[in-house]
Structure 1
Amino acid sequence: MLNLGRLHLLSELSVLGTITAVAEAVHLTRPAVSQQLAQLEQEAETVLFERVGKRIELTPAGKRIVKQSHELFRIVNDIESELAQGKAEVVGEIRLATFGSAGVGILPDVIKQLSASYPQLTLTVVELEPADAIKAAAANQVDIAIIDDMVDTGPFSEKLDFFPLCSDQFVVVMAENHRLAGRKVIRLKEMPNEKWALNLSAMHYHSFLLRAFHAAGVVPKVIANYKNSAAALHLVKQTDIITLLPTLMLHMDDALNGLTTVNISPNLTRKVSIALPKGISTKPSVRAVFDALNDIAEKITH
């Protein structure tokens, strides 16, 4: 009989791509993971994976087993959820991955609400770009991932459930004394000569913004590449440089002191969603976090 724990390791390998990454995810040593996977191959009496360059790729047999195991793990999650519902306790730890602006705009109030309502529940948060967050959820490294529609969810549709959370609009941010301050709307094509501070390190976010500029016939003059949005806002406040940020990021305390925002045309909006492993959405602790996320997202976006 195939071992469920070893099947889980193979499933994680299919997402993470290296034994080292799997070992880190499950808190085992690399040799221990290799040994367990080797035993799984012996049980299956076939080769399940092979090395391709620096990564490991599943063989056709390995891919079939992983695909068939999705339903098995969903059933296990359903069983665990049903047992948890019987206890009806909102306790323990829920691991959540979020991208930066959702962490700023939504998470603080979520944590406050959960702490007041469920003192025995701990929400641990890690900041990951949406592409990494969805992989973390698929590999069971986190229980909940907040993602956006810039990532391809297709490869994970058999392992994860997806639920809409909110929409997030991008606005131009500039100093209060900037010559464009006071405008209600600015067209991107009106700004071919502006100096920009943009985050170029997040690939999907970067591509999303550049596509919008290029569609307007503009090549932005990016003279500051800041990962840290607070640092970008400070730079914008002190200079004539402008930036383009999602409104979720602007919920920081005092974020807009000395700054102003202007809507842009064409409108740039992304859809924010929740991703979680199939079968766990009915667990009381997961449901409590899920409901709090939706409650706070609705309050700040309406």
Structure 2
Amino acid sequence: MLDVHRLRLLQELHTRKTIAAVAAALGYSGSAVSQQLAQLEREAGVPLLERVGRGVRLTPQALILVEHASAVLHRLEQAEADLASSMPTVRGELRIATFQTAMLALIPPFLDRLAESAPELRVRVRQMEPEPALSALATGDCDLVIIEEFPGHPRSRVPGLDRVPLATDPMRLVVPETLRDKGNIIDLADRPWVLEPEDTPSGRWARALCREAGFEPEVVVSSCDIVSHIRFIETGHAVGFLPDLVWRGQPPTVPTHPLPGQHRRLYSSARSGGSGHPAIVLARAELECVRDGLPLGSPRA
């Protein structure tokens, strides 16, 4: 009989690529992981790993096992969800990963609501960009992620993860008070800009919007910290683009102008096997309640 724990290690190796990465993620020593995988080889009766330089790679037989392991682990997560659903209260631990503006605007009121509706549920939140957050979700390092998707830059679907629409968040052109009357992108072609880095979805979207208007933006500040964007715009050092969510339902501190048809979409994502867990179901319901109290659009707009 194949050991489920060892099958999970094999799946982790398939995802994380190196034994060292598996060991670091799961809190084991590298030698312990290697010994467990060697035992799995003996149980399976076929070679599962082959040496490649200083590392290893999975054999074709190992890939067959990985496919079955995914199905087994999926069913085990469903079993855990069913057991949790049989309990009278929502309890345990829920690990959430999300990006900066959602962290600032959605998570505090979300935690307030959960403290009332599920006082026995422990919630752990960490800030992560969507791509690493989805990877962490796929490998079991978190249970629910909130992600963003910008116009013209859809994210690839990750097998085994669901995706539930949460809201649409209008993007706006944002300028210093001295440029209040400059409401068109082309009017700001010769101004300094603050944008997210070009290798991020937001950064690619923003630069594409400027290029469609006929110019290449002079980016004087490149930062993933949206709060710093606000500061540079407030002090007159740059212009930029910001989502409505950044204001957390309060009046903007600088002039903003609409960008017709330009909004990012917000989603929540969980592993398909665990999406029926009562903590996930409740968290998504509470997120929707928080959304309804903010100036966000319909999730399917």
When normalised by structure 1's length, the TM-score is: 0.87
Q: 1:235 to 1:137 in 2, by over 3 A?
A: same
Is 1:220 the equivalent of 2:220?
no
Asked whether the equivalents of residues 189 and 217 of structure 2 are also in contact (C-alpha less than 8 Å), the reply is yes
For residue 165 of structure 2, what is the aligned residue in structure 1?
A: 164
Per-residue deviation, residues 97-131 of structure 1 (Å, max 9, x unmatched): 11112112211111111112222112111111111
Q: CA deviation at 1:19?
A: 2.4
Distance 1:280 1:223 in 2: 44
For residue 285 of structure 2, what is the aligned residue in structure 1?
A: 291
Distance 2:228 2:131 in 1: 24
For residue 136 of structure 1, what is the aligned residue in structure 2?
A: 136
Q: Which of 182, 191, 194 matches 2:191?
A: 194
Which structure 2 residue ranges, 5 or more long, are not aligned?
none
For residue 259 of structure 2, what is the aligned residue in structure 1?
A: 264
- Answer with 107-116 or 199-208: which moved more: 199-208
Give the length in aligned residue pairs.
293
| Percent of paired sites with the same residue | 28
Q: 1:16 to 1:204 in 2, by over 3 A?
A: farther
For residue 41 of structure 1, what is the aligned residue in structure 2?
A: 41
Q: 1:117 to 1:197 in 2, by over 3 A?
A: same
Alpha carbon RMSD of aligned pairs, Å? 2.4
Distance 1:40 1:23 in 2: 16
Q: 1:39 to 1:198 in 2, by over 3 A?
A: same
When normalised by structure 2's length, the TM-score is: 0.87
Asked whether the equivalents of residues 166 and 298 of structure 1 are also in contact (C-alpha less than 8 Å), the reply is no
Asked whether the equivalents of residues 173 and 245 of structure 1 are also in contact (C-alpha less than 8 Å), the reply is yes
Q: CA deviation at 1:56?
A: 5.7
Q: 1:240 to 1:67 in 2, by over 3 A?
A: same
Distance 1:298 1:291 in 2: 11
Which structure 1 residue ranges, 5 or more long, are not aligned?
none
Asked whether the equivalents of residues 195 and 223 of structure 1 are also in contact (C-alpha less than 8 Å), the reply is yes
Q: CA deviation at 1:202?
A: 5.5
Per-residue deviation, residues 166-207 of structure 1 (Å, max 9, x unmatched): 1122212222x222x156x52x34432121011217523222
Q: 1:171 to 1:278 in 2, by over 3 A?
A: same
SS in 2 for 1:160: coil
Q: CA deviation at 1:221?
A: 0.6
What is the 5 A alignment of 1:51-200? 57-149=57-149, 150=153, 152-154=155-157, 156-157=158-159, 159-175=160-176, 177-179=177-179, 181-182=180-181, 185-186=183-184, 188-200=185-197
Per-residue deviation, residues 13-42 of structure 1 (Å, max 9, x unmatched): 222233233223222222222222232233
What is the 5 A alignment of 1:23-38? 23-38=23-38
